[in-house]
Each structure stands twice: as structure tokens, then as C-alpha cells.
Amino acid sequence: MNTANLQLEGLYLAIASINNALVKKGIMTRDEIDLALRRAEQTAIGDDRMIEDMRSSNRDAVAFPARLLALANRMASADEISTFSELARMVGSTKEPYNDQR
């Protein structure tokens, strides 16, 4: 596996853990984190360049971090987050097709 991919996996889990700590400390709610991540995803895939120039698989790649972190946020307990592989599988199985794919 590419080393950069492994580094990104670690980064996603680190951010998920920070998000969980923000909730645990009462700084943010899970709903607030979810809203922020949904906005990030919409900003990423709503870019005109994405719609006009990128294949759906590339749009999925850009949206993947926000989708994975949103799932981690929804599935987290007070002290634990899911594994990267579990979250990645769920991202793939729960994504909706884009409007231009219907």
C-alpha cells in the first residue's frame, strides 16, 4: 500500500478522535460536527470543476474524508471510534449516486 494512503488513514482517525474529544468535553455536539462535515462534503462536491471535469469516482474520492469522519462521528461511543476499514466499507455501501448518475 502507498505510504501516503497509510498516513491519510492515520490522519482521518486522529481527526475522528479529536471530534470525539470535542463532544466528550461539551465543546461541540455530535449534531454540530455532523453539520460541519456535511457542509464540507457539499462544498467539495458542489464545486463547478467537480461536476464538469471529474468522473464520479474522483468526486467520491474528494468527498471520502468528510463522509468517513461523519460516519465516525455518528458511530462513536464516549471513548471509542470505529476502525478505518470498517468506516471505509460503510462509506462505500451508504453513498448515494450523484444527480448526473440517475
Q: What is the pLDDT of residues 53-75, one digit of tens each?
A: 778 888 888 899 999 999 999 99
- Overall pTM surpassing 0.85 (yes/no): no
Q: Which residues of the chain have pLDDT under 70?
A: 1, 49-51, 97-102
> In what helix (H) or strand (E) does residue 37 lie, and over which residues does it extend?
helix 30-46
pLDDT at 89: 92
- Amino acid identity for residue 19 in this structure: N
What DSSP designation does 26 have? T
Count of CB atoms within 10 A of residue 66's CB?
20
**Cα–Cα distance, 76 to 12 (Å, whole number):** 14
Count of CB atoms within 10 A of residue 81's CB?
21
pLDDT at 59: 84
pLDDT at 92: 87
